[in-house]
Homo-oligomer: A and B are copies of this chain.
């Protein structure tokens, strides 16, 4: 079936916050987003969930880290299936701050895939968590 033969596109359904948190808890890579003077920047990172927050480990010298010291930021995950043309996405919108590793034991489970001295722990605390599921047509 080519995409041109699809007469009945898929339905979008809102996810509850509990469903969003469940998806966040089951994955290890997502995308952090921030805004600079030229608009949004979206960067994949490893993460762990802690309550209604996500924790990231960054290099303190990275451009990304400098934008997350105290800033509005978002964290996004999703998954799609080309064959059934369906999927889901979760968006956590909140505020990013630097936090102390000693205060966040969940960070022990956060092992970034990428190399580098990632000694800085950043928390994005949710103001709002939303998600949608695109059901197969």
**Could you list which residues of chain A lie within 8 angstroms of chain B, going by C-beta atoms?**
3-4, 6, 8-12, 28-29, 31, 33-35, 38-44, 71-74, 76, 78, 80, 82, 85-87, 89, 91, 93, 111-116, 127, 134, 137
Contacts and interface: CB of A to CB of B under 8 A. Distances in A.
22 contacts: A9-B112, A9-B114, A11-B114, A29-B80, A31-B31, A38-B127, A39-B71, A39-B72, A40-B40, A40-B41, A40-B42, A40-B74, A40-B93, A41-B74, A41-B91, A41-B93, A42-B74, A42-B91, A44-B78, A44-B89, A86-B113, A114-B134
Contact of A10 (B8, B78, B91, B113): B113
Nearest to A95: B39
A44 B80 contact: yes
Contacts of A40: 33-35, 40-42, 72-74, 93
Q: Main SS of chain A's interface residues?
A: strand
A113 B93 contact: no
A113 B134 contact: yes
Q: In this complex, which of A6, A8, A39, A89 has the most chain B Cβ atoms within 10 angstroms of its Cβ?
A: A39
A67 to B, nearest CB: 10
